Amino acid sequence: MALVPSDPIDNGHSLPLIAEVDMSSDPSAAAVVRGTVVQASTVFYDTPATLDKAERLLAEAASYGSQLVVFPEAFVGGYPRGSNFGVTIGNRTAKGKEEFRKYHASAVDVPGPEVDRLAAMAGKYKVYLVMGVIERDGYTLYCTVLFFDPQGRYLGKHRKVMPTALERVIWGFGDGSTIPVFDTPIGKIGAAICWENRMPLLRTAMYAKGVEIYCAPTADDRETWQASMTHIALEGGCFVLSANQFCRRKDYPPPPEYVFAGTDDDLNPDSVVCAGGSVIISPSGNVLAGPNYDGEALISADLDLGEIARAKFDFDVVGHYSRPEVLSLIVRDHPNNPVTFASTSGKPEGPL
């Protein structure tokens, strides 16, 4: 494993070494794709600065030959770790409502100018880009992953179908219409966000779509997350690329503007509040790079796509190992719209 030093970034932290796996090639081997997971923090409440940071990291990953770059959950817009938005059952505080207003203002419209910039970045550095964002759709927010190709085109999105615990207060629920797997020259790429990865039926839907490079942006830095990622790689016979933020208390606004409910008194500016653990795992369950718990980093590995067939020979979960006459799954992949207008204009007809 070669270690290549990286350049510092502008938020006061130095970016540690990037780990690259140099796999020997052979003329008869399948294609090899270099993938990178980004482990870095949002610039909270500052979406333009976060996009600037994303571009610096993307440029660095591309300079080491990365063809696919995966960012963490909610990288653009922020994961509001430690906040309760002033919510108790039957009550919401004025401060919590203002906190939501600021969070809403940091989110991005899809499509929108921030999405255009991300697409341009993917085209500029000629990479497939998988980016975690907070998506604003009117006044509802979604935890979303956006996909872009090296020609600078926006491919589509996945909305988190099941926010976890208090996330349900601030994020809406995705539906079956945004569970894409994109067939690209470097493999079939899809994503599931954080604890969605623990939903076996969602995973099965992605396997049925043929996912080969399974992206898992997350906010879970516990060691138990590694077991889930290894299991998915083995179960799906796919590469798993999991990206998490590495955050210290000082990466969030100071109190009283932003408070880690119930714990802020125990934190100092350098306290780690999310330790990362980003990792890349092969279809045979081997850890190719990571997990990293040391700080902000780019974590890269060469993905030998021939490993997919070798793994599937043992176990193809929706192929020779399926039993459709005993077990089957129906996925409702149409949008669930709360209001549908019958008129061609999309507006109600007749007097109001």
Q: Is the pLDDT of residue 351 over 90?
A: no
For the record, the structure tokens of 266 come out as 């125990």
Q: Determine the pLDDT at residue 9.
A: 37
Query: Letter for the amino acid at 264?
Result: D
| Beta bridge mates, 218 | 244
> What is the residue-averaged pLDDT of the chain?
89
Q: Is there a contact between 78 and 106 (Cβ–Cβ < 8 Å)? A: yes
pTM for this prediction: 0.88
Work out the angle between the directed axes of helices 200-208 and 224-236 (0-180°, nearest 10): 30
Report residue 251: phi and psi, to 5°. Answer: -80, -10
- pLDDT tens digit sequence for 173-198: 999 999 999 999 999 999 999 999 99
Show which residues are catalytic: 73
d(CA 146, CA 157) in angstroms, rounded, equals: 5
Q: Determine the pLDDT at residue 265.
A: 82
Res. 15 pLDDT band, cuts 50 70 90: very low
For the record, the structure tokens of 259 come out as 């408070």
Neighbours of 91 (CB within 10 A): 8
Q: Where are the alpha helices (DSSP H) in 184-338?
A: 200-208, 224-236, 306-314
Q: Is the pLDDT of residue 18 over 80?
A: no
For the record, the structure tokens of 349 come out as 């007809």
Overall average pLDDT of the 270-288 stretch = 95
Q: Determine the pLDDT at residue 264.
A: 82
Of the two residues 336 and 233, the one the predictor is more confident about is 233
Q: Determine the pLDDT at residue 261.
A: 81
- What domains does the chain contain, in order, with CATH numbers? 2-314 (3.60.110.10)
- pLDDT tens digit sequence for 241-278: 999 999 999 999 998 889 888 788 888 999 999 999 99
Residues shown for the chain: 352
